[in-house]
Amino acid sequence: MANASVIQGNFIKMVSHKSGLSPTMVNSLRTGILSLIGILTFLLVWQSTANNIDTSLGQFPGPVQVYEQIGNLVSDYQREQEREAAFYERQEERNARRLAEDPDAEIRFREYTGQPTFPAQIITSLKTVAAGFLLATVIAIPLGIACGLSETLYSAINPVIQLFKPVSPLAWLPLVTMVVSAVYVSDDPMFAKSFLNSAFTVALCCLWPTVINTTVGVGSVNSDLINVSRVLQLPTLKHVQKIVIPSAIPFIFTGLRLSLATGWMVLIAAEMLAQNPGLGKFIWDEFQNGSSDSLGRIMVAVLTIGFIGFILDRLMLFAQHRVSWDKSSVLK
């Protein structure tokens, strides 16, 4: 291994010497080329395997078909937007006409209710995962800090955590659904019930990684630093703010990233299972639809889910980099 990296280093030096590019540029060029080769190989393998898989809905979609479907989804979206604009235009015309005939006429406004488009489903899913993740974070971090500080609380809560941690959040889904529809009764609901169901389910699975990692992080604060705090007689709140949280930040973020990743995975499954709006429902609907385009569209959704998951993780990493005091540490 050591040899390989030496050879690689020499290679970079040699190339940078010959081409006049700086070594960092050569290095990033190299990474770029390697990624490109990786992606191209993947596309090639994908296309050739896809050609050999026949399903009852036609051939398994390869990259070309997926690309076509992306185009279709975009034009679907544009068509839907035009329809919506036309709908409101007609409604306004109609109302204006009525008012002209009879100034006292009662006029009505209706919301446009068309098919949810693919981008709309993405946005719904993002909102839901954000809500569930935030809710979980707001509970999990303080709970984790409290458990890390107090051995007593930890002993009391740990069995509960260990019991619920391995439960698939999907098992909660029926319970959450029933509780939400029983408790959340309002004539003019601020949130749709389906939104709450999905968000709570996501929150339930986002809780544990953050609680556990925060607890561990708080428990492993350097004992010298704790002694400094004791000698200074820092009040608890200040102790937490100045000493505990900064030390535990890497652990907290590890927990948050795990939470967000599982939350995103679970959300898609919950949407499929409960028919709640979002990317999961999109996939399920396409599957039920069973047209020749369906598999291609599902594949677009799969890739989108992967890409969004990746972006979410990068965002967390960026956030960690922003709040972390140790700028020199390499975050991966």
Q: Ramachandran region of residue 221, left (φ > 0), alpha (ψ -120 to 50) or beta?
A: beta
List C-alpha distances in Å: 142 to 146, 187, 245. Answer: 6, 34, 10
DSSP state of 115: P
Contact range with other proteins by CB under 8 A, out of 19-27, 37-45, 119-127, 223-231:
223-231
Pick the piece of the chain touching other proteins (CB under 8 A) from 42-50, 65-73, 135-143, 220-228: 220-228
Which tokens belong to 110?
A: 């209706």
Using CA atoms, how far apart are residues 230 and 84, in angstroms rounded to an integer? 64
Q: Indicate whether 237 belongs to the interface with other proteins (CB under 8 A).
A: no
Helix (DSSP H) and strand (DSSP E) numbers for the chain: 12, 2
- Longest Cα–Cα distance in the chain: 89
Each residue 19-38 as x (binds other proteins by CB under 8 A) or -, in order, gives --------------------
- Please state the closest distance from residue 242 (CB atom) to other proteins, in A: 6
* Only segment of 26-34, 158-166, 199-207, 241-249 that touches other proteins (CB under 8 A): 241-249
In this structure, what token pair is assigned to residue 165? Answer: 């941690």
CA distances from 209 to 165, 256, 263, 266 (A): 8, 7, 11, 14
* 3 versus 233: smaller Cβ distance to other proteins: 233
Q: Which is nearer to other proteins, 72 or 324 (CB)?
A: 324
Query: Which residues face 59 on adjacent strands?
Result: 54
Q: Which range of residues in 8-16, 37-45, 171-179, 233-241 is near other proteins by CB under 8 A?
A: 233-241
Q: Shortest gap between Cβ of 67 and other proteins (angstroms)?
A: 48
Determine, following the binding rule CB under 8 A, whether residue 233 of this chain makes contact with other proteins: yes
Among 96, 228, 303, 311, binds other proteins (CB under 8 A): 228
Segment interacting with other proteins (CB under 8 A) among 128-136, 137-145, 239-247, 261-269: 239-247
Please give the residues from 137 up to 176 whose contact with other proteins meets the rule CB under 8 A: none
Q: Is 225 a binder of other proteins (CB under 8 A)?
A: yes
Q: How far is the CB of 177 from other proteins (least distance, A)?
A: 44
Interacting residues toward other proteins by CB under 8 A: 222, 224-225, 227-228, 230-234, 238, 242-243, 246, 325-326, 328
